[in-house]
Each structure stands twice: as C-alpha cells, then as structure tokens.
C-alpha cells in the first residue's frame, strides 16, 4: 500500500487587539515597573491542507510586542507551504532556523507558537480526537483555579465577590495578586480571602516577581499559616538559584516559569530545583512541541504542573500530564471563540470535540497587517 501524504496548501494569519473590560494591575504596576494592562494582542494562524483539513492556533502578547510577533510570523509563514503537516517537530525547527538571527527565545520563538499549535490542532482533528486524547490523556477533567478576579486593581470587597462567583461557576481554587510595596497590606488581603473562603478551598498567591530574596523568605514564612496551594513568582523569573533556595526553606510550594520563553530556560529552572509547580506557557515557549519537552522533564523530576494563561490550549496539555496538574481559568479570550469550556465540581472538562475543540479566531490573508 502506497504511503499518501497531505501537504500544507495555505497559511492564513490574523492580528487581533482584544480590549479588556477594565484596566487591571498587578504588583508590577504598583511598584512602577509597568502600566496597567488594557488589552491582549493576539496572532491567529489557520493552516489548511490540500486534503481540506484545517488547524487553528494562536500566540499572544501583553503590553508591547504584538505587532512584532505578527511581523515575524508573517515573514516565516511561507516556510510551511508544501510541507507535510504531520512533521510537526521538523517544521518547528525549520521555522526556528528561518528566524535564527533573532535568537532561540523571546519573540523569535513566540512567533512560532501560533503555527505549532495550529499543526497540533490539525493533527488531532484529522485523527478525530481531542488533543488531550491524541497526546495520551491521564484525566478527562483538570482542577482549575481563577486568577482574573484577584488583581490588585480590584478592592478587597470585589475580590471576595469575584471569588464567590468563580466558585459558583464550578471553579475549584482562587488565586490573588500580592507583591505590593507594603507587605502588611498583602497580609491583610490574604487573610481576608482565606477567612472568606474557609480552609478547604485552594488558595494561591502571585507576587509577579516583585520580592527580593530576603522579603520572599520572611514573608513566605508568614504566609505558611494560610495553607496556600502555592506562592507564585516570588522572585525574578530568571533567578533559578533564589527560587531553589526559597523552595527548600518553605513548606508552601513555590510556583514559577510563566515568563520563560524557551524550553531551555525551563530546563535550567527545573535542574536547579527552583519550583514545586512548573508553569510553562505554550504560546510563550514556542508552542506545544517545546511545551511537551518541558512536561517530560517536569514529570521526570516528579514536579507538579500549572500552565500559565491560555486555558484553551493548556487544558489539553494538563490533562495529558501524568502528575498533579492545575489549569488557570481566564475568561479574557472567550469572545474570540464560538465554544466555551465547561466547568464542574472544581474542574475544567476536556471537550470531546476533535483538536482543541474550538473554532473562531478571525484570520485573513498574509498580505494584511495589524
């Protein structure tokens, strides 16, 4: 029997600016390092084959970088034309080398993500399987926690109301932002939320890289009383040694990794013992292909997994992880898709639709710009 191969006939790209309903602030804003976030910029890719199969993927940027992602993706997209869409690993490297003068992390890698995710979506759709099943699912639903209701721009009363609404929707845990210049204000905030939720609801805090090592150590010990599921990004994202020392000194698990933009950066983090929960972001590390490398190493080290943002992709990846996994609930991207992910009993359900199980994401020809 002759081997038949399909070929990529078209690659369509789209640049989308998605405004948020209100500006949001985390500790990076309160410490003067960034301005409030008002929108998310996204690059969507739709890959179409000669046999009529399609795959949809996306990458994103917050604050600066969106037009740069789109420009780099648009330059490298023609490299996919005529290729076999099944050869995802080889195509990822081809795209990497096409933009190698820009480096092997950061924007050059993030621009590959939309294509790589689209190729995995296409492969699963062609197989008639949800992506989690194609990868090899370990569960049909993943514990999930909400972040969007706990930003520092929201007063504590609103944070408590948001937490109630999230739990009523079927979300299982609540994460709030900390890292303010006044740690006493952080303490009051955490105490109020813990008392409101009770001891049985998972509670996480996220400092968004705003503490130095001494502050993280001292305040981390103070936070032990609240039985947190984890403390997220207590230190600079690239301080693997500091995170490792902190993780070794606290009973509360340490989570980090969302800001890293390559599998190699995650390897250094994991090898250093810097995290109990690893938090890779598929669009930031270049797609699902490098994300799977991070997953394999985290599994080898018996670490827990809590991917950052982009629940539309990460639900499938967390479902395919052998160890403990959480998925982060952000409703921000929901307006871009026709479907909604379902929640029940504190978990997010893997859809039974093929691929990512989502359609939408406006796309247009390569000649159009942002």
Q: Which residues are annotated as a binding site for Mg(2+)?
A: 206, 232, 258
Q: How far apart are CA 182 and CA 38, in angstroms?
A: 25
Q: Two tokens at 104? A: 């092997």
Going by their DSSP bridges, the two strands 347-349 and 54-62 should be labelled as unpaired
Annotated catalytic residue within 123, 177, 243, 316: 177
Q: Two tokens at 207? A: 């400092």
Q: How far apart are CA 370 and CA 350, in angstroms?
A: 33
Active site residue 177: yes
Helix/strand/coil (H/E/C) assignment for every residue in 284-340: HHCCHHHHHHHHHHHHHCCCEECCCCCHHHHHHHHHCCCCCECEEECCCCHHHECCC
Q: Which residues are annotated as a binding site for substrate?
A: 26-28, 62-63, 175, 208, 328
Annotated catalytic residue within 308, 314, 316, 329: 308
Closest CA to 272 of 295, 239, 228: 239
Find all residues with CB under 8 Å of 198, minimum gap 6, and list them: none
Active site residue 308: yes
Positions marked catalytic: 177, 308
């Amino acid at each position: 029997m002759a081997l038949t191969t399909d070929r990529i006939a078209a690659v369509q790209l789209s640049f989308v600016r998605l405004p948020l309903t209100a500006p949001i602030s985390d500790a990076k804003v309160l410490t003067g390092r960034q301005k409030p976030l008002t929108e998310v910029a996204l690059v969507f890719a739709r890959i179409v084959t000669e046999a009529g199969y399609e795959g949809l993927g996306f990458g994103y940027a917050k604050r600066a970088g969106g037009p740069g992602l789109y420009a780099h993706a648009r330059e490298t997209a023609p490299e996919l034309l005529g290729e076999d869409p099944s050869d995802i690993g080889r195509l990822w490297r081809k795209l990497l080398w096409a933009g190698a003068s820009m480096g092997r992390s950061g924007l050059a890698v993030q621009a590959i993500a939309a294509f790589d995710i689209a190729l995995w979506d296409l492969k699963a759709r062609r197989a008639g399987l949800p992506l989690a099943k194609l990868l090899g699912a370990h569960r049909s639903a993943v514990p999930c926690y909400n972040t969007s209701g706990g930003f520092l721009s929201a007063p504590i009363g609103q944070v408590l109301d948001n937490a109630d609404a999230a739990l009523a929707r079927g979300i299982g845990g609540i994460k709030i932002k900390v890292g303010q210049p006044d740690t006493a204000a952080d303490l009051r905030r955490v105490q109020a939320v813990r008392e409101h939720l009770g001891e049985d609801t998972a509670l996480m805090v996220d400092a968004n890289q705003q503490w130095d090592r001494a502050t993280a150590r001292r305040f981390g010990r103070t936070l032990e009383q609240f039985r947190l599921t984890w403390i997220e990004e207590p230190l600079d994202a690239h301080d693997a040694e500091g995170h490792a020392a902190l993780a070794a000194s606290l009973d509360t698990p340490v989570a980090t990794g969302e800001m890293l933009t390559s599998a190699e950066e995650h390897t250094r983090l994991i090898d250093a013992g810097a995290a109990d929960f690893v938090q890779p972001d598929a669009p930031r590390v270049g797609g699902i292909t490098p994300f799977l490398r991070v997953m394999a190493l985290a599994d080898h080290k018996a670490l827990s997994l809590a991917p950052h943002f982009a629940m539309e992709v990460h639900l499938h990846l967390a479902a395919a992880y052998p160890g403990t996994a959480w998925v982060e609930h952000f409703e921000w991207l929901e307006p871009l898709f026709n479907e909604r992910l379902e929640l029940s009993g504190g978990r997010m359900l893997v859809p039974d639709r093929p691929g990512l199980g989502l359609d939408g994401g406006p796309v247009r020809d390569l000649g159009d710009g942002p």
